[in-house]
Chain A
Amino acid sequence: MSDRILSLVVGVLAALVLGLALFWQPELPERPLPRAAVPEGGEFTLQSADGPVSLRDFRGKVVLLYFGYTYCPDICPTSLAATAEGLKQLTPDELARVAVILVSIDPKRDTPARLQEYARFFHPAIVGVTGTPEEIAAVTKRYGVFYAEQKVATAGDGYVVDHSADTYVVAADGKLAGRIAHATAPDQVAAIIRKYLYPP
């Protein structure tokens, strides 16, 4: 059993290293996804404080997906604050064509109400959603998101969650189109959103 876990870990690490070697482009805040490496993304329905939220509810809009959690001590606030600042640079018309969904990768602790309050702190347009651990596992897998609980002695309820910190961009047609790297500056976030709002 532990051998299987070990080989899984080795496999994941090898894939990471290979992925890094092939696709690492540190100078680009936006990472265009190479065709072969594009996770399928796709439809999902999860729960918000105001009821179920499906990706298809936002068809016609550019959707930013961020996978985080309310116990997140530093990374999520950094990402979400940059996204929120980017949204503020859009015109009202542009903002109306953008949706931001915060998907919890800590379904054990995050409730829809908790997520809503957390998300609104950053920007009223951000919708927080969660689901069963199985639903979250399925969605994250399809979007190529990594997350793993990590014991840290004194953190909140005893663990933090390592997780992919990029923001995923879903184009108006519902297809996963790209990613915005963690800690991308607000003006670049706005520029990337506009790129998808006004496709060539």
Chain B
Amino acid sequence: MKRLSTLAVGLLLSTGVLAGAADNVSVQDAYVRLAPPNAPATGAFMVIRNNGDKDVKVVRADNPVSKATELHTHLNEGGVMKMRPVPAIEIKAKGEAVLRPGGLHVMMIDLKAAMKEGDSVPITLTFDDGSSKQVDARVVKATAAPAPTEHRQH
């Protein structure tokens, strides 16, 4: 009995440790932009909210439909758009990170197969404490994709 309760406590503790940052994070409006024909890459966009009291960082993203997945941003330098990888996407405590076209995004590079509208892509976000969260992102055609920030007031 005593061993059982130790086990139970141990399990509780371990799930607590495993959950970590991922537990305090919620993701909204996740979508993957349908890649145009011949485009070898596309972006995934979402709003990542940190409901916790500590800043968290997304340090990696993975998905099964592209050979590589990277975290990217865009720099707009005098009308010239430059896409660059970023090592992490930080989400401040009680804050949010908005991933949207022209800004931060999850880049899906070298798509293994063509996708179609309505498909769902599981994207796994890994945080700086090692915890992770899976997000199901729907594939939408760019024209129908709302920029998640447009109606938000900060």
On A, residues with C-beta under 8 Å from B are 16, 19-20, 70-75, 77-78, 80-81, 84-85, 114, 117-118, 121-122, 146, 150, 152-156, 160, 162-166, 179, 181-183
Contacts and interface: CB of A to CB of B under 8 A. Distances in A.
14 contacts: A16-B78, A71-B41, A74-B33, A75-B74, A75-B83, A75-B102, A77-B101, A118-B38, A146-B80, A156-B40, A164-B81, A165-B76, A165-B81, A182-B79
Contact of B109 (A16, A75, A155): A155
Contacts of A162: 80-83
Would you list the 7 A-B pairs with minimal beta carbon distance, nearest first?
A81-B142, A78-B101, A121-B36, A154-B68, A165-B81, A73-B41, A75-B81
Nearest to B143: A81
Nearest to B145: A81
B42 A73 contact: yes
B39 A72 contact: yes
A20 B76 CA distance: 12
Contact of B79 (A81, A150, A153, A166): A166
Nearest to A69: B39
Interface in B39-76: 39-43, 67-68, 70, 72, 74, 76
A179 B80 CA distance: 13
Contacts of A84: 143
B138 interface: no
A179 B43 CA distance: 26
Contacts, number: 101
Contact of A70 (B39, B78, B81, B82): B39
Given A75-B74, A78-B102, A165-B80, A152 B36 contact: no
Name, among B39, B82, B83, B101, the residue most crowded by chain A CB atoms within 10 Å (CB to CB).
Answer: B39
Contacts of A182: 76, 79, 81, 102
Interface residues of B, number: 33
Contact of B36 (A16, A118, A165): A118
B118 interface: no
Contacts of A16: 77-78
Nearest to A115: B38
Nearest to A121: B36
A71 B43 contact: no
B107 interface: yes
A26 to B, nearest CB: 10
**Centre residue among A70, A80, A84, A154 by max chain B CB count within 10 A:** A154
B85 interface: yes
Contact of A163 (B68, B72, B81, B102): B81
Contacts of B68: 154
A80 B83 CA distance: 17
B110 interface: yes
A146 B80 CA distance: 7
Interface in B1-57: 33, 36-43
A73 B83 contact: yes
Nearest to B42: A73
Contacts of B38: 70, 114, 117-118
B143 A164 contact: no
B133 to A, nearest CB: 23
A73 B77 contact: no
